[in-house]
Structure 1
Amino acid sequence: MRKVHMNVSGRVQGVGFRYTTKMVADQLGVTGAVWNEADGSVGIEAVAEDKVLEDFITAVRNSPSPAGKVARLTIHDDPRIKERKSFDVSYPPQ
């Protein structure tokens, strides 16, 4: 399993980005969380097999929300991310 943290900036708040990201994650079988950041970006933690995670990253890069627009996507592997049973729309992880 690969664990990544992503930060997405652009038009990603107030356009249904988090909820459509959750829909994509649920369809693909990705677990983790998505939340709004105070700076207007969106944070994502995602856990899945490599191929599934690559498909998820592609969907995020293309904006799962029709009204959204991704200007910048940063991704880094983070083995400290805790595994979850689902993909949640939440506040930043503690």
Structure 2
Amino acid sequence: MHGARFLVSGRVQGVYYRASTREQARRLGLDGSAVNLPDGRVEVIATGAPEAIDALEQWLRVGPPTAKVETVERYPYQERGPEGFSVG
């Protein structure tokens, strides 16, 4: 199992970013979660095939049309993530 933790900053809260991330992750067959953080960032956990995680990272850098992504930080994620993809 491969995994990654992403911290996404910019205008990414209140713009359908988490729900759009869930849709994209499901299309790619990934499990994980997308959660708003108190500092205005969104944390995304993704587990699954390495190529799918890379594809999600590329999507996270753009996001939905209403978002304005400034930075995406990627970190290894070794824990067992949730099954399916949740938004919190």
Short-chain TM bin: over 0.9
Equivalenced residue count is: 88
- RMSD over equivalenced CA pairs, Å: 0.9
TM-score (norm 2): 0.94
TM-score, with structure 1 as normaliser: 0.89
User: 1:7-63: CA deviations, max 9, x gaps?
Assistant: 000010010000000010111111000000000010011001111111111111111
Deviation at 1:78, TM superposition (A): 1.9
Q: Could you tell me which amino acid in structure 2 is paired with residue 44 of structure 1?
A: V
Distance 2:29 2:47 in 1: 9
Q: Which runs of 5+ in 1 are unaligned?
A: none
Question: Runs of at least 4 residues of structure 1 off by over 3 A?
Answer: none
Aligned mates of 1:10, 1:67 — CA distance in 2:
11
1:85 is displaced (CA, Å) by 1.7
